[in-house]
Amino acid sequence: MTTKTGLTPSEISAEFSLEQTRRATVTGMENMLYQPIKILDHGFIRVIDYMGDDNAVVQAARVSYGKGTKKISEDRGLIRYLLRHKHTTPFEMCELKLHVKMPFFVARQWLRHRTASVNEYSARYSILAREFYIPEPKHIAKQSTLNRQGRASSFSPEETKSITDLLRSDAEQAYAHYQELLNENETGEVLNEGQDGLSRELARMNLTLNYYTEFYWKIDLHNLMHFIRLRADPHAQYEIRVYAEAMLDILKHWVPHTYQAFMDYHMEACTLSKQALSVVKSKLRGENVTQESTDMSPREWRELESLLE
């Protein structure tokens, strides 16, 4: 089990050891520490460490405001003010360290975010485990014809099964050949004595993109929210969205005021272009507005209509 969750010996002992600290401490996070939150079939997110809390955001903002802060006296109100007006720097003062495990094709999207620190498992150095992602049947979906990067409806149970079987057999064959190339099995035992294995840095190229990798990932609260905004978006691929949604839940335990403000001012907020704002104002004055009377493209017009229901 420690292998599957990646718990190192020092973490296991940490689970049972309590130290005293004068640092900002959040009970909800202490309870989460080191425990893997399971995601997809073999993935997880584990909180390894955190720095700061809602109050650390407030404290940093108050350094800027100096003695001039008496009026904005309420912490929750200050946090909401900061997020509403995009004063982002105080949110950089909190930091989160996660241990995450996900398929390669998810890791590739994930690591496009450049504002985090990363230490990833190296398949040049070590042998990858026999763990690959097979979507649950309900997530095996047809290509959308409206959105090139989207999914449409499901397949029949028979079609779904045949897709799943194909993905699984290819992944299994890839791993069998990976071992054959390495001349080693998953635990490093030599398969054919007296023969040599292909170098690990080459053999790994035979694996498919649904194999799992894992890394430590450290990011500040501002950049974490940016990541979540993009990856918990309904347009993000399901397989990364589930990780972003798990992070939203971590956020809720860690910095509850920031979480709520983030939902109100970012996740569930919207932007109105100059033209869209003008349309809304006209409508509120009771005027009749059509797409033709504006500078908006038909696509923008539809986006606005769907926003306003």
So which residues are the catalytic ones? 231
- Per rule CB under 8 A, is residue 73 in the interface with a copy of itself? no
Q: Which of 12, 38, 126, 302 binds a copy of itself (CB under 8 A)?
A: 126
Cross-strand bridge partners of residue 50: 96
Q: Which of 73, 125, 189, 234 binds a copy of itself (CB under 8 A)?
A: 125
Q: Which of 54, 130, 179, 208 binds a copy of itself (CB under 8 A)?
A: 208
Q: Which residues neighbour 252 within 8 Å (Cβ) at sequence distance 6 or greater?
A: 259
User: What letter does residue 292 receive in the DSSP assignment?
Assistant: G
Q: Which of 40, 45, 61, 224 binds a copy of itself (CB under 8 A)?
A: 61
Instruction: Please give the structure tokens belonging to residue 256.
Output: 């509850």
CA distance 59 to 69: 11
- Per rule CB under 8 A, is residue 287 in the interface with a copy of itself? no
Query: In angstroms, what is the minimal distance from the CB of 80 to a copy of itself?
Result: 8
- Per rule CB under 8 A, is residue 214 in the interface with a copy of itself? yes
- Per rule CB under 8 A, is residue 45 in the interface with a copy of itself? no
Instruction: Please give the structure tokens belonging to residue 42.
Output: 């073999």
- Per rule CB under 8 A, is residue 41 in the interface with a copy of itself? no
Cross-strand bridge partners of residue 101: 44, 214
- Per rule CB under 8 A, is residue 23 in the interface with a copy of itself? yes
> Phi and psi for 97 in degrees, rounded to 5?
-120, 125
CA distance 112 to 218: 14
**Candidates 36-44, 145-153, 243-251 — which segment interacts with a copy of itself by CB under 8 A?**
145-153
Cross-strand bridge partners of residue 115: none
Q: Which of 56, 232, 242, 251 binds a copy of itself (CB under 8 A)?
A: 56
